[in-house]
Structure 1
Amino acid sequence: MTSDAKPLSGLRVLVPRGGTWGDLVARALREQGASPVVAPLVDFAHTSEEEKLVEALKLLEAGHYDWITATSSTVVDVLAYHHTVIPASTRVAVVGEATAAAFEHAGYQVSRTPSEENNTTAGLLEVWPEIDEGDVLRVLTLRSDVAKPVLTEGLIGRGHDVTQVVAFRTIGIPASVHTREDVESGRINALLVASAKIAREVAEQFPNLPEDTIVACVGPHTHPEAIAAGLLHNPAHERSELKRALIETVESVIDQSDMLD
């Protein structure tokens, strides 16, 4: 199949996150004929719970926890920043394609992930037999400041000893002048919006989108959050096969939990 025959040929797509997430999405877009432009609009800053995080990571490295959980690939960056190594006695449970890939790339074996049919935090609780065997487990849950504590609440509800820590904060970062010019001129003719925070950044940083620019919201709640942020969508694109193909391409490699900041 030639490039011209691929479903996303002709699209130059802004990918608003870097790291493992951006790599996975960019690769999938290229395979479908698009030209991805990785230009992160969000980054991650130190947590407001730094002292609590440092103490928890010391306990982690000492083998105190039976399990560690993560729903963001950024947790791997947090571990690396603090030079923390997960001991072999502590098992890893994660949600999200990008999260699992980041842990495995860092050399950690992931013991539990949700099923493909329900690849969510709630889905992980359904396929984690150890949490229903009666033993009280010591679990460290690391998450962002915007992620809902679904895993934490589910584990506490089952009687486990859970240490919950906000490991990082999500902040907006400005696009480069070159990227802004490419978006405003239409040379970048499609934008991915993968979270409420990214929706707000797109609305603020690109207030004068060309009418033909495709705004593709991925994730279960992103579209209404984008509308609330003031991000305009072209009604003519609502039934666009090209937009649908773009969304399906991203969602084929990135699941719901990876849409969280």
Structure 2
Amino acid sequence: MSAESKPLSGLRVLIPRGGTWGDLVAQALREQGAHTVIAPLVDFAHTSEEDKLVEALKDLEAGRFDWMTATSSTVADVLTHHNAVINERTQVALVGEATAVAFRNAGYPVTRTPSQENSTHALLEEWTETDTPEVLKVLTLRSDVAVPVLTEGLIGRGHNVTQVLAFRTVGVPASVHIREDIESGRINAILVASTKIAEEVASQFSNLPDSTLVACVGANARKAAADVGLRDDQDSPLTQALIDTVESVIDQSDMLD
């Protein structure tokens, strides 16, 4: 496919999150012809449950959990920051390509990811080990704003779940250069991939040009955009091509934080 015939050819896209997530999304968009600008509008701070997290990580190293779960690549960063050790008897279930890549890059094992559809619901459906009368001890690590789908699913199956907020999601001010590029229209599209990102885009870019596409990825991001008065250009074919590209590499579970 020539550069001219690629669906996102020439589109300059703001990617509002860094790390493994941002790198995977940027690569996918470039393969479809887009130019990418990674400018994080969110970052991750220490959890409000630090003491609980430290105790849970001690239990994790001691092998007191049968399984642990994560749906965000940031959890790998949290584990690395704490020099956490995952006991060899503890198995690891993950959702999201970025999450699996981050875990492997950090040297942590990955036991199970969804094989069909890359989603939390698919993981629960395929996770046969949890569909048993045996009560498993499971550690779920997530963000303060993530929807606890896995946690609730496991509790509903009767398992002993220790859920810990492993990190908080906080807003990050865009640089002067990025704000100028947005207001001048030099950036043609902005990805909105979580509730927090929707809030940051709405508050930081009040003079968003009408020509700039706002691509809300996932139902949570679309609802958040509506709540804060941010427009959603999902009816545009170009926006849909942008969303499809992002969803081809990043599951919506990766967008919950």
* Counterparts in 2 of 1:3 and 1:228: CA distance versus 1, 3 Å: same
1:100 corresponds to = 100
- Report the Cα distance in structure 1 between the residues aligned to 2:116 and 2:220, rounded to whole angstroms: 19
1:243 aligns with 2:239: yes
1:58 corresponds to = 58
1:156 corresponds to = 155
* Counterparts in 2 of 1:239 and 1:164: CA distance versus 1, 3 Å: closer
1:81 aligns with 2:77: no
Specify the code of the residue in structure 2 equivalent to 1:52: K
* Counterparts in 2 of 1:136 and 1:238: CA distance versus 1, 3 Å: closer
Runs of 4+ in 1 over 3 A off after TM superposition: none
- Report the Cα distance in structure 2 between the residues aligned to 1:35 and 1:226, rounded to whole angstroms: 24
Specify the code of the residue in structure 2 equivalent to 1:248: D
1:238 offset after TM fit, Å?
5.0
Q: Which aligned pairs between 1:1-261 and structure 2 lie closer than 5 A?
A: 1-117=1-117, 119-233=118-232, 237=233, 239-261=235-257
TM-score with structure 1 setting the length: 0.94
- Report the Cα distance in structure 2 between the residues aligned to 1:17 and 1:74, rounded to whole angstroms: 11
1:134 offset after TM fit, Å?
2.3
- Report the Cα distance in structure 2 between the residues aligned to 1:31 and 1:151, rounded to whole angstroms: 32
Specify the code of the residue in structure 2 equivalent to 1:168: F
Consecutive unaligned residues in structure 1, runs of 5 or more: none
1:178 offset after TM fit, Å?
0.6
1:253 offset after TM fit, Å?
0.8
- Report the Cα distance in structure 1 between the residues aligned to 2:254 and 2:148, rounded to whole angstroms: 15
Specify the code of the residue in structure 2 equivalent to 1:77: D
Task: State the superposition RMSD in angstroms.
Answer: 1.4
Does 249-258 or 126-135 show the bigger shift? 126-135
* Secondary structure of 1:171 counterpart: strand
- Report the Cα distance in structure 2 between the residues aligned to 1:73 and 1:7, rounded to whole angstroms: 28
* Counterparts in 2 of 1:170 and 1:238: CA distance versus 1, 3 Å: closer
Specify the code of the residue in structure 1 equivalent to 2:236: S
- Report the Cα distance in structure 2 between the residues aligned to 1:99 and 1:84, rounded to whole angstroms: 16
- Report the Cα distance in structure 2 between the residues aligned to 1:125 and 1:114, rounded to whole angstroms: 9
* Counterparts in 2 of 1:134 and 1:238: CA distance versus 1, 3 Å: closer
Residues 161-207 of structure 1, C-alpha deviation per residue, up to 9 Å, x if partnerless? 21111111111010111111111111111100001110010000000
- Report the Cα distance in structure 2 between the residues aligned to 1:195 and 1:148, rounded to whole angstroms: 11
1:89 offset after TM fit, Å?
1.4
- Report the Cα distance in structure 1 between the residues aligned to 2:123 and 2:244, rounded to whole angstroms: 23
1:116 offset after TM fit, Å?
3.0
* Secondary structure of 1:100 counterpart: helix
* Secondary structure of 1:227 counterpart: helix
